[in-house]
Every structure is written in structure tokens, then in C-alpha cells.
Amino acid sequence: MGKIAVVGAGAWGTALAITAARAGNEVTIRAREPEVVASINEQRENSLFLPGVEIPSNIKAVADFAELDTPDFLLMVAPAQFVRLVAADLSKTLKESVPVVLCSKGIEQSSGKLISDVMAEVMPKNPLVVLSGPSFALEAARGLPTAVTIASKYQKLAQSLAEAIGQPTFRPYLSRDVVGAEIGGAVKNVFAIACGVVAGKQLGENARAALITRSLAEMVRFGESRGADPETMVGLSGLGDLILTCSSPQSRNMSLGMALGEGKDIAEIMKNRKTVAEGYYTSEILYRIATEEKIDMPVAKAVYDLLHGDKKLDDVISELLSRPISKEEMF
Ligand SMILES: NC(=O)c1ccc[n+]([C@@H]2O[C@H](COP(=O)([O-])OP(=O)(O)OC[C@H]3O[C@@H](n4cnc5c(N)ncnc54)[C@H](O)[C@@H]3O)[C@@H](O)[C@H]2O)c1
Ligand SMILES: O=P(O)(O)OC[C@H](O)CO
């Protein structure tokens, strides 16, 4: 039986803890909120972030990083904008030999850095693995079939993580392309907001299909700018996650876009959110990077204009639709 630690007891951290426990591991999950620690240990439920799912008895919640001991793998599942701070605290007690599995999806807004680069800065010695792919927390937690990409330059580690947490209903696929796996998960959140706008404004399924396809082209371009393999972009962590997140109001990012498309105000939507819609933060930095580096990303720009600019929805849509005719290029 292996030992898995999870840092971040939001919906995804909790779902991954349940998945790892279901595979037979002893799991310790560190929650930031004392009420979440109590809820997991006493009610066997994370009633704040993943209500309605039973927590198996081989999961223990703790408040203190020091209680995580020395796991075989540590899963980092804090929201992307908090990973630097959380990792800095964690690094005070975690041994440098413990492999860290990055499960967060985003780009650091203050620096424009990929979160794997943030981890390399803050915890440079811990071997890094990325876990990404189309995976709604609730479905994975309920044991519904899910497939993910596990990427690392240390293939033996990727393999042993896959063996430790894999099971018929949670199938990992292995990759060496850490940056590619990470970028797909980070930028699809921005495009899911755009697809939500299409749904909320009832622009139709043709528009949504076109938007997903053109978003994939932008994902490929951005990925190439960071050295990602275009093939990774059409795998689970890229196209797979793009399709999932752009197709279901279960997605926090798509539902944020739907609210915008229905005419709600962004400040109102963001007020009092307790769950994270990573695309909101990623869209701002993605637009800045694309502008500075001249990466053609019109859909990402449209989302930026809606969330962080002061453009009107109808103006943003007509700007996107009246771009000059160009050649259809993906790669
Ligand atoms: N929910 C999903 O279905 C899902 C699936 C795959 C990946 N992810 C990714 O996992 C990451 C975590 O998302 P989630 O869905 O588990 O979170 P969540 O929205 O369910 O919960 C919010 C999380 O943010 C944490 N948080 C709030 N303020 C914080 C602070 N100041 N410092 C540190 N942490 C703070 C909370 O403790 C909690 O863990 C995100 O990057 C997300 O994109 C989520
Ligand atoms: O609910 P979202 O939009 O944060 O998406 C969750 C996962 O990233 C889907 O793979």
C-alpha cells in the first residue's frame, strides 16, 4: 500500500484523494480551512467543496503541512495563483526527495510563468510530474470513467504514479511533454469562458464547434511558443480537456461565460465566488503574453476584453466575427 499526500482540499484535491484512496493508498490531505478538516474527518464528506460524496476511511485530513510526513507522491492541487505561496510553506517541511505532482491549471498572473516553472523555483529539488486532462472532480470522485495525462521527464516516476493511482475508472496515459500537458489545461479555461458566452447568448452549436476548433489552433500556437509538442495539444490534456470544458455547464469556467452571455456583469459574477474559475485570471496574463510576443490569439483577446477590458459583449462578438478572411491553419 502506498502513501499519497494531497495539498489543497478543494473539489479536485478531494476527488484526487478519493481516487488515490480507492486505488488502495493511505491518503493524507491538507486543507486550509479548519471546517474542511473537521468535515472530512468527522462527517466523512467535504461539505464545503465537494458535497454529497463519501470520503473513504483511508483518507485523513490535516491542517498542518508537517503532518504530511514522507509520502510516495505529493499532489499539489492549490489554485494556480496560490501555488507559489502554498509551495513555499510546504517546502519548509517536505523532504526534497518527494516527487510533487502538479494538478493545478493556470498561468501565474503576476509573472506570466507556467506553474511548473513556479514549482521549479520554489521547490527546485523535488522531482516534478504534471497530471492534467478532462476531469470534472465530481465525476472522478464518483468513480465514473476518467482518463488523464501524466507527464514527467522522469518516466519511471510517471509510470509508478500511474500504477499507484490508476484503476479501470481512472486511466492515466504517460507523456514526457510536461509543458504541453500543463498548457492545455491552463488555456482551455479561457476558451471555455468563450464557449459559455456562446451558450449563454444562444449563438448556436455551429458557433460553439467553430470556437472550439479555432481555440485549439490558439492553444497549439501558444504551446509552440513555450516549446510544447503540438501532438500533446490534440491529446487528453489539450483537445480532450477543451472539449469537456467547452461542452458542459458543470465547468466553472463555462458557467462563468454563460452568465456573461446572459448579460450579467462580471463584477457581480465574481463577487462572493467560493470556487475558482481559473480562466478569469489566466485570460489576463495570456492576453498580455500574446500581445507582447505577437502570438495570434483572437479568441483569448475577446475573453480578455470581456473580463478585464470595458468592451460591450456585442462589440466583442462583432469584432471577432469581422476579422479578415484567412487561411485555415492549425499547425
Ligand atoms: N474542480 C475540478 O473539477 C478540477 C478538475 C481538474 C483540475 N482542477 C484544478 O484544480 C485546482 C484547484 O481547484 P479546485 O476545483 O480543487 O478548487 P475549488 O474551487 O473547489 O476550491 C477552492 C480552493 O482554493 C483554496 N484557496 C482559497 N483561498 C486560498 C488561498 N488564499 N491560498 C491557498 N488556497 C486557497 C481553497 O482552500 C480550496 O482548496 C485549480 O487549478 C483547478 O483548475 C479542478
Ligand atoms: O470546472 P472547470 O471549468 O474548472 O474545469 C474543471 C476541469 O479542469 C475539467 O477538466
**What is the tens place of the pLDDT at every residue in 122-134?**
999 999 999 999 9
Residue 147 — φ and ψ, nearest 5°? -125, 140
Q: Which residues contact 99 (CB under 8 A, 6 or more apart)?
A: 72, 73, 74, 126, 127, 128, 129, 154, 157, 161
**What is the tens place of the pLDDT at every residue in 219-248?**
999 999 999 999 999 999 999 999 999 999
Closest ligand 1 atom to 50 CA? 20
> Average pLDDT, stretch 78-97?
98
Q: Is the pLDDT reported for residue 330 higher than 90?
A: no
Of 6, 30, 32, 170, best ligand 1 pocket probe by most atoms within 8 Å of the beta carbon: 32
Q: Which one of 3.20.10.10, 3.40.1210.10, 3.40.50.720, 3.40.50.800 gives the CATH number of domain 3-176?
A: 3.40.50.720
Q: How far apart are CA 267 and CA 287, in angstroms?
A: 19
Q: What angle do CA 33, 93, 46 make, to 5 degrees?
A: 25
pLDDT on residue 323? 93
- Where is the binding site for sn-glycerol 3-phosphate, in residues? 105, 133, 135, 188, 241, 251-253
Q: How confident is the model at residue 331 (pLDDT cuts 50, 70, 90)?
A: confident
> Average pLDDT, stretch 181-189?
98
Alpha helices in the chain (DSSP H): 11-22, 34-38, 83-90, 115-122, 137-141, 155-165, 178-200, 205-225, 230-233, 241-245, 252-261, 266-270, 278-293, 298-307, 313-321
pLDDT on residue 144? 98
Which tops the pLDDT comparison, 274 or 297?
Answer: 297
Q: Is the pLDDT reported for residue 272 higher than 90?
A: no
Torsion angle of the four alpha carbons 319, 321, 323, 329, in this order, in degrees rounded to the nearest 10? 140
Asked if 46 contacts 172 with a C-beta cutoff of 8 angstroms, the reply is: no
Asked if 241 contacts 247 with a C-beta cutoff of 8 angstroms, the reply is: no
Q: Which grid cell is 204?
A: 448556436
Q: Are strands 128-132 and 146-151 parallel, antiparallel or unpaired?
A: antiparallel
Asked if the interface predicted TM-score (ipTM) of this complex is over 0.85, the answer is: yes
pLDDT on residue 250? 96
> Average pLDDT, stretch 54-67?
98
Asked if 300 contacts 283 with a C-beta cutoff of 8 angstroms, the reply is: yes
How far is Cα of residue 133 from the mean position of the Cα atoms in its chain?
Answer: 8
Of 183, 245, 250, 280, best ligand 2 pocket probe by most atoms within 8 Å of the beta carbon: 245
**What is the tens place of the pLDDT at every residue in 310-324?**
899 999 999 999 999
Query: Which residue shows C-alpha cell 475573453?
Result: 303
**What angle do helix axes 205-225 and 178-200 make, rounded to 10 degrees?**
150
The DSSP result for 46-80, as a single string, is BTTTBTT-PPPTTEEEES-GGGG-S-SEEEE-S-G
Q: In CATH, which superfamily holds the domain spanning 187-321? A: N-(1-d-carboxylethyl)-l-norvaline Dehydrogenase; domain 2 (1.10.1040.10)
> Average pLDDT, stretch 61-65?
98
Active site positions, annotated: 188
Q: Is 253 in the pocket of ligand 2 (CB under 6 A)?
A: yes
Q: How far apart are CA 111 and CA 109, in angstroms?
A: 6
For the chain, domain boundaries: 3-176, 187-321
Q: Which residues contact 181 (CB under 8 A, 6 or more apart)?
A: 130, 132, 149, 151, 175, 232, 237
Q: How far apart are CA 304 and CA 248, in angstroms?
A: 21
96 C-alpha to ligand 2 centroid (Å):
30
**What is the tens place of the pLDDT at every residue in 120-165?**
999 999 999 999 999 999 999 999 999 999 999 999 999 999 999 9
Q: Is the pLDDT reported for residue 99 higher than 90?
A: yes
253 C-alpha to ligand 2 centroid (Å):
7
> Average pLDDT, stretch 202-230?
98
pLDDT on residue 85? 98
Q: How far apart are CA 10 and CA 87, in angstroms?
A: 16
